[in-house]
Chain A
Amino acid sequence: QEAAKYEKKVMVLDFVTPTPLGNSWGLGGTCVNVGCIPKKLMHQAALLGQALQDSRKFGWQFSEEVKHSWMTMTESVQNYIGSLNWGYRVALREKKVTYENAYGEFVGPHTIKATNKRGVEKLYTAERFLIATGERPRYLGIPGDKEYCISSDDLFSLPYCPGKTLVVGASYVALECAGFLAGLGLDVTVMVRSILLRGFDQDIANKIGEYMEEHGISFIREFVPIKIEQIEEGTPGRLRVTAKSTKENQIIEGEYNTVLLAIGRDACTRNIGLDKVGVKINEKTGKIPVNDEEQTNVPYIYAIGDILQDKLELTPVAIQAGRLLVQRLYAGATRKCDYVNVPTTVFTPLEYGACGYSEEAAVEKFGEENIEVYHSHFWPLEWTVPSRDNNKCYAKIICNIQDNERVIGFHVLGPNAGEVTQGFAAAIKCGLTKEQLDSTIGIHPVCAEV
């Protein structure tokens, strides 16, 4: 859309290869269809369930037990996603961007082949190309995984309630999904190979895990599944999961209605003909290395988003990078995407917002004696009346002593963590120091004032 603003002739090729279970979706990419949007909506559904419980203490009276309908929720969520898909189609049309629902692959210099659902092929040439093919969930490579397991690609449109669920993985995807499924009243177990939320501040990651455990989610630590078998067909059916310990020779078995795999995502770069045009990719990870202007080793081919090597897998980063790239190419701008201090939020039952260094990373980079960590537990006012979870919420900032106690890491664990973190990220971008933080007055009573 940005390029079309500068009167360039633009085409978008978007195609979703169906999941092993046959699921597919419309225009908009991962975020809209099987990522941020449905995730946050289902997380909200779970939070509302909790709010209903709290409401009694605030005076709301209702006698019936409140139950949750998976079908009603999924239908509403899918309807909203559908409206977004439609919105994109309209926006592209209005901006005169040609859209083809076809699978694109390079076949030669400046040439791409587009194959649609029915197998019809067309060839297109262009001056420049932008690859933003994203990633898809990884499978375990064990018997029964593709036949019987689902992934996040399937979960948000599942036409039946998943029931008793085993979530395999400890990524934020795994924990967020486990979190809202449990919040909706389902029996959830998480199977973790080693640590939670690799790459995130581990002190906080453990607090998140603890909170989830205290709230009814079981964790099986240091095990990996080795076999998935179907006991009974159905919607949902019944599955038997066999798992092996990563430490000793122990084998365990468990029965679940649904097994959700969330062990990572792989870049969609292997089957799009990159070899035909000489674009180098990291053979191990499939990711594409680019320079700080998002250019691949082939000058007329650019890449953005989750497929980039050593960059963050976040929607707003991809969008920002894409827009700025186009502005540099066609509007004479020079601004590059700033990948430093990008804030993020994990929407687990206890939300976690972060910006900058984790404590471990700060210690590694600057040395323990050169950083100061200020921290505090807090109790959101809204949780006092229903007597919920005293002393679970937590905030910490990490400061660089040698640089005027500049804030280099911000972490908050509590409700609305995303809303809280956003402004702090802006402040960090302005070079916030501890002194400036101290001299800023808090808004009272909110969580962010802590």
Chain B
Amino acid sequence: LLNRRVKYFNMKGSFSDPYTVRGLTKAGKETVVTAENIVIATGGRPKYPTHIAGALEYGITSDDLFWLKESPGKTLTPFVLNVSLECAGFLTGIGLDTTVMMRSIPLRGFDQQMASLVTEHMESYGTKFLKRCFPTKVEKLESNRLQVTWKNTELGTEETDSFDTVMWAVGRAPDTETLNLKTVGVKTNSETGKIIVDASEATSVPHIYAIGDITEGRPELTPTAIAAGKLLARRLFGQSSELMDYDNVPTTVFTPLEYGCVGLSEEAAVECYGSDNIEVYHAYYKPLEFTVAERDATQCYVKMVCLRESEQRILGLHFIGPNAGEVIQGFALGIKCGATYPQLMKTIGIHPTCAEEITKLHITKRSGLDATVTGC
């Protein structure tokens, strides 16, 4: 920022009028700034389930986890977003006793078949899962440990257990209260609190823009925020007219067995086009590195959702396995170019890799055949 002569103020900003922002330092000193164009990118912070007794006082969130000075010990992570699964995953991996509590389904919004494979793998690797349960209260014990009480909706029972740490991962909410958006007329979604923007990132007030996690209906991903911001700047000052394309944004969940995806989930494709009009190619494969190490590859799986008509355009690609992010990135480019199944089949695989399994997909779900493939 210094190099590019961007002025940086370490202050909490709020609107006093449509062109004026008031900043307050930690010490309470105030600065007033006016500007022609204003971009809001204040992001989100983890939510606390304040309706659960003890949640705020005794629980932590991911904001705290990465800064903990001591090991979290025996940990419970209730609710199941990718944040909680990823954290539970690495906590288990470093040897801690970790439990994930979920009320209904894991990774809502993601392809559910893939989500189950991810959690199945975590279970076989030692993360405990309390399914169909939700916490009702958190109390502190004399030993300084935490006692959590929860309802098991399947059995209709109430259960308790004690933990060293309870980490909430119930979603993130924008910190729009203190921004004073109402005063200047910037509209937000009443349910989520997120700022409503149009395709050019503009809010309901023409010269005020918003990007990133704080915007309604956008993926909560770093690279999209960065890209949107760059394109916005170019439109405002660089004579460009290019809008941000939010379709086919690839993403990866860094659970112990990683899951990378781009495009539509199978459910979304079926809903959009009808199951008769889509073809799903899939395969269970075994990474070479797992063979000699005798690791379980049961959940290593890849599937491609295509349109069934002649061109067979690829609608979605899903990959579970090591280095899923590295694998998916290049294919996301292909999908941006309108890749079709025949084009992918013309691409020769790199051997031996996991990614090559994608270029070899040929068994359809429709055929009902066993999708286990051998590598070499």
Contact = CB atoms under 8 A, between A and B. Distances in A.
Q: Do A and B bind each other?
A: yes
Given A420-B329, A426-B347, A429-B346, A441 B223 contact: yes
Contact of A441 (B325, B332, B352): B332
B188 interface: no
A241 B326 CA distance: 43
Interface stretch (B18-26, B102-110, B248-256): B248-256
Interface stretch (B123-131, B160-168, B205-213, B285-293): B285-293
A315 interface: yes
A59 B329 contact: no
Contacts of B355: 418-419, 421-423
Contacts of A439: 242, 245, 336
A217 B352 CA distance: 25
Nearest to A336: B346
Interface stretch (B45-53, B78-86, B141-149, B337-345): B337-345
A426 B221 contact: no
B352 to A, nearest CB: 5
**Most chain B beta carbons < 10 A, residue from A40, A315, A430:** A430
Contact of A443 (B245, B325, B358): B325
Contact of B333 (A317, A419, A427, A446): A427
A28 B346 CA distance: 24
Contacts of A425: 330, 347-348, 350
A36 B249 CA distance: 33
A439 B352 CA distance: 30
A320 B344 CA distance: 13
B339 A430 contact: yes
Given A36-B352, A442-B223, A77 B292 contact: yes
A344 B350 CA distance: 5
B325 A448 contact: yes
A320 B223 contact: no
Interface in B17-37: none
A386 interface: no
Contacts of B249: 441
A441 B245 CA distance: 9
Contact of B343 (A421, A430, A446): A430
Contact of A40 (B245, B260, B288, B346): B288
A345 B354 CA distance: 13
A424 B330 contact: yes
A182 to B, nearest CB: 20
A317 B331 CA distance: 20
Contacts, number: 175
A338 interface: yes
Nearest to B289: A44
Interface in B229-261: 242, 245, 248-252, 260
Contact of B329 (A80, A84, A423, A431): A423
A71 interface: no
A422 B292 CA distance: 23
**Most chain B beta carbons < 10 A, residue from A421, A422, A441, A448:** A441
A419 B354 CA distance: 7
B351 interface: yes
A422 B252 CA distance: 17
B122 interface: no
Nearest to B346: A338
A342 B94 CA distance: 40
Nearest to A338: B346
Given A419-B326, A443-B260, A37 B350 contact: no
B344 to A, nearest CB: 5
Given A422-B330, A427-B330, A430-B334, A343 B224 contact: no
Contacts of B325: 443, 445-446, 448-449
A19 interface: no
B359 A426 contact: yes
Given A418-B350, A444-B223, A41 B288 contact: yes
Interface in A398-450: 416, 418-427, 429-432, 436-437, 439-449
B330 A448 contact: yes
Contact of A87 (B227, B245, B359, B374): B374
Contact of A37 (B332, B339, B376): B376
Contact of A316 (B327, B332, B337, B356): B356
B263 to A, nearest CB: 12
Contacts of A345: 350, 353
A418 B351 CA distance: 8
Nearest to B262: A443
A21 interface: no
Nearest to B252: A443
A430 B353 contact: no
B350 A426 contact: no
Nearest to B71: A59
A12 B249 CA distance: 47
Given A31-B376, A44-B289, A443 B251 contact: yes
A206 to B, nearest CB: 22
B330 A426 contact: yes
Contact of B227 (A44, A341, A441): A441
Contacts of B330: 420-427, 448
Interface in A297-327: 314-317, 320
A246 interface: no
B323 interface: yes
Contacts of A316: 348-351, 356
Given A320-B348, A423-B331, A441 B250 contact: yes
Contacts of A17: none
Interface string A69-107: 000000011001000100100000000000000000000
Interface in B310-329: 323, 325-329
A353 interface: yes
B10 interface: no
B333 A440 contact: yes
A421 B349 CA distance: 10
**Most chain A beta carbons < 10 A, residue from B327, B333, B354:** B333
Contacts of A371: none
Contact of A446 (B227, B326, B337, B338): B326
B222 interface: yes
Contacts of A32: 376
B348 A317 contact: yes
Contacts of A31: 351, 376
A424 B358 CA distance: 12
Contacts of B374: 87
18 contacts: A31-B351, A36-B351, A37-B376, A40-B352, A44-B289, A418-B356, A419-B355, A420-B327, A421-B355, A423-B332, A423-B358, A426-B330, A427-B337, A436-B336, A439-B242, A441-B249, A443-B252, A443-B325
Given A420-B326, A426-B347, A447-B326, 17 more contacts: A28-B376, A32-B376, A315-B351, A315-B376, A342-B348, A419-B326, A419-B353, A419-B354, A421-B355, A422-B353, A425-B347, A426-B331, A427-B330, A432-B337, A441-B221, A441-B250, A444-B223
Interface of A: 28, 31-32, 36-37, 40-41, 44, 59, 76-77, 80, 84, 87, 314-317, 320, 338, 341-345, 353, 416, 418-427, 429-432, 436-437, 439-449
Interface of B: 94, 221-224, 227, 242, 245, 248-252, 260, 288-289, 291-292, 323, 325-334, 336-340, 343-344, 346-356, 358-359, 374, 376
